[in-house]
Amino acid sequence: MDVISIVSLVLLFASWVFVMMGCASAAWGKGFNQAQWLAAGFLLGPIALLVLIAMPPNAEVQRERKLAAGVAKECPTCLELVRPAARQCPHCGSDLPQAH
């Protein structure tokens, strides 16, 4: 095996690992199972990454993150997310309890 083929193998391996890392981080950002997508990235490489990018995010996980981060609160009437300082729900129009 000559030097050039060793170098291209190393580069291929490095870009494959890079794609797998991309899958794991995109999966986390969209609220999917990181380990599953890391495995998908390992098996499918760039195809898994493209599929992941095309998929809509997990709305439930993103909702929980917004609530946990305090950038949104839940309207007790319609359960839609509203801004923390809102006094009236923009979705259903009901009065919201003030946290402060």
The CA distance from 95 to 67, in Å, is 19
**Helix ranges (DSSP H) in 31-87:** 34-44, 46-54, 59-69
CB 96 within 8 A of CB 86: yes
Query: Which of 24, 26, 48, 89 contacts Zn ion by CB under 5 A?
Result: 89
Query: Which of 78, 83, 85, 95 contacts Zn ion by CB under 5 A?
Result: 78
5-13, 20-28, 35-43, 85-93 -> range binding Zn ion (CB under 5 A): 85-93
Query: Which of 7, 12, 91, 95 contacts Zn ion by CB under 5 A?
Result: 91
